[in-house]
Chain A
Amino acid sequence: MKNSIKISLASVAVALALTGCGTTGDGEGGAPVENRDPNAGVARVDVADAKGTKLPAVLTDPKSILSKRSIYFALDRYDVSEQYRALVNAHAKFLVENRQFKILIQGNTDERGSREYNLSLGQKRADGVKQMMVLLGVREDQIESVSLGEEKPKAEGHGEEAWAENRRADILYVGEF
């Protein structure tokens, strides 16, 4: 077998259902997905080599909440706002169910103010996401949190829009960093 990564379709469906916007194949719509699979709620992934570059589709499929990797922050703040709770929960759940996966959380800031303060602020943002995940059962050794401060802006501009985009923590899975 060329690729040792196997994901059960049922568990992908579960993962999609967790997003609240998953679609079912039966076309009836409206009804919540009922999954009688004994592994219900468990996105089972077998990875022989977690360092492989190929990630399971559930992490990259745009329809999966797990493909969303960015948590945005308000100016000067490092508390994870309510709107990102579902996103963090979904990643935590995936990591709890797939202990062989490790992630890197990179904290970023906008370009304004002190570079050193921003380095610390980015660390706080990454740590905030990490702490939430640890409380949800992810093992410490599955997560590394680092800061890029203002040094690696995703948006290169110098206005409110770019600044908002850069006040961010990104979740990267092994193979992506």
Chain B
Amino acid sequence: MPLKNMNLPNTRRLATRLVATALLCWGSLAQAQLSIEITGAGANQIPVAIADFGGDAGSGRALTTVVRGDLERSGLFKLVDTGGAALTESSPIDFGAWKARGADALSAGSLGRSPDGRMEARFRLYDVNRQSNLGGAAYLTATPQLRAAGHRIADYIYEKLTGERGVFSTRIAYVLKSGGRYELQIADSDGQNAQTALVSREPIISPAWSPDGSRIAYVSFENKKPIIFVHSLATGKRQVVANFKGSNSAPAWSPDGSRLAIVLTKDGSSQVYTIGAGGGSPMRLTSSAGIDTEPQFSPDGAYVYFTSDRGGSPQIYRVSASGGSPERVTFEGSYNVSPRPSPDGKSLAFIARREGRFQLAIMDLSSRQVQVLSDSYKDESPSFAPNSRMIVLATEVGGRGVLSAVSADGRIKQRLSVAAGDVREPAWGPFTK
């Protein structure tokens, strides 16, 4: 596979201030870690060699493990055995030897101390076939954030080799139900570093990330009825955005983060409204005698997709974000719900019931062709990765709630579970700046 040839970027310019991320504090560290199991792989895996990071041996090994784990889990790469070779970003490269090992690409780097005591991870990526330098970067990080630096490096390698942005540095929010407790947790995309943002004795559903990743809107039953909150992750500050008579649910952010599409029953049955992200007076968007729910903005903000039973069975519709007459989008089967437009605007993921099984399906929005992506029976709550390549969803294995991630082409599958409880309601966060 030919690799994309790009200029060597200025490493200083690329250095990110990971330390700022370290200041986020979400409260207590969760006990339960998500564990990931991969089933399936991409069709054409890129053989890549990630040499052990030089410098401090212990930290270097930890960093190398994160980078390799990320690339391998994506299903798009085949890790080439490096034979324990430790190379730094300035080591001379014997391209012939790496080619003989079967590598198309090679990364080499080191971990050192910056003058202010933080760690500095530097690395370089090579195209083995062309014997060329594909670029490199340096990331400054406090030691506890070594994993974050590893994800940044994996993102860099992923983007150089596939041409699309990596999502290893992103986070996933989900609800963990354990005993009678509900916890809204936020974990790294590899399931590690889970932090609890909210603990409640009552259900929490429908978490939705603000486009800038700083806040999460969700529905909490803590006041014995569904109310919509917006929760700032860094401060833990919570704001009630919708607490009208009846039920308040299904928050979805507008692409500019200024408004939320929500579902209220204040005027009768569930209908879609929009409201300012800080609250205010809701504006009604849909009008039916039946159920209208699960609104989601298209990435360009032009449409709102939603589920409605106005035609006699729950189906997906879309309406102009400024209102008007909705257009039906799904036609096959008697139950199509939970529409999720992909961030690239090309497809729509949703849950279809086929012969009693609830499965993830994806529609190509230009051809309107539908493909069922899963072989499970109780899929719920799909959520696209910000690069549109993977979809995380909730499903059930052996009577327990687990998360599953499927590539949009259905080839790659991962399963994320927590030993101590049911995991549900996943929401994949946006790209981190």
**Residues of chain A at the chain B interface (Cβ within 8 Å):** 76, 112-117, 119-121, 123-124, 127, 145-147, 149, 151-152, 158
Contacts and interface: CB of A to CB of B under 8 A. Distances in A.
Contacts of A117: 291, 293-294, 307, 314, 337-338
Interface centre among A119, A121, A123, A149 (most CB of B within 10 A): A119
A127 B358 CA distance: 27
Contact of A123 (B250, B265, B396): B265
A39 to B, nearest CB: 36
Contacts of B335: 76, 113
Nearest to A112: B358
Contact of B313 (A76, A146, A152, A158): A76
B293 A119 contact: yes
Interface centre among A76, A117, A145 (most CB of B within 10 A): A117
Interface in B302-341: 307, 313-314, 334-335, 337-338
Interface in B256-270: 263, 265, 268-270
Chain A binding surface SS class = mixed
A147 to B, nearest CB: 6
A113 B336 CA distance: 9
B75 interface: no
B293 A116 contact: yes
Contacts of A149: 205
A149 B221 CA distance: 11
A111 B294 CA distance: 17
Given A76-B335, A117-B294, A127-B269, A146 B225 contact: yes
Contacts of B399: 158
B381 A114 contact: yes
Given A114-B381, A117-B338, A123-B269, 12 more contacts: A76-B314, A76-B335, A113-B358, A116-B206, A116-B293, A117-B307, A119-B270, A120-B249, A123-B270, A124-B269, A124-B270, A151-B203
B293 A113 contact: no
A120 B262 CA distance: 12
26 contacts: A76-B314, A113-B337, A113-B351, A114-B294, A114-B380, A116-B263, A116-B293, A116-B294, A117-B307, A117-B337, A119-B205, A119-B226, A119-B270, A120-B292, A123-B246, A123-B247, A123-B265, A123-B269, A123-B270, A124-B270, A127-B265, A127-B269, A146-B246, A151-B221, A152-B203, A158-B399
A87 to B, nearest CB: 23
B425 interface: yes
A115 B269 contact: no
Interface in B269-313: 269-270, 290-294, 307, 313
Nearest to B295: A116
A127 B337 CA distance: 22
B99 interface: no
B165 interface: no
A76 B293 CA distance: 15
A116 to B, nearest CB: 5
A120 B353 contact: no
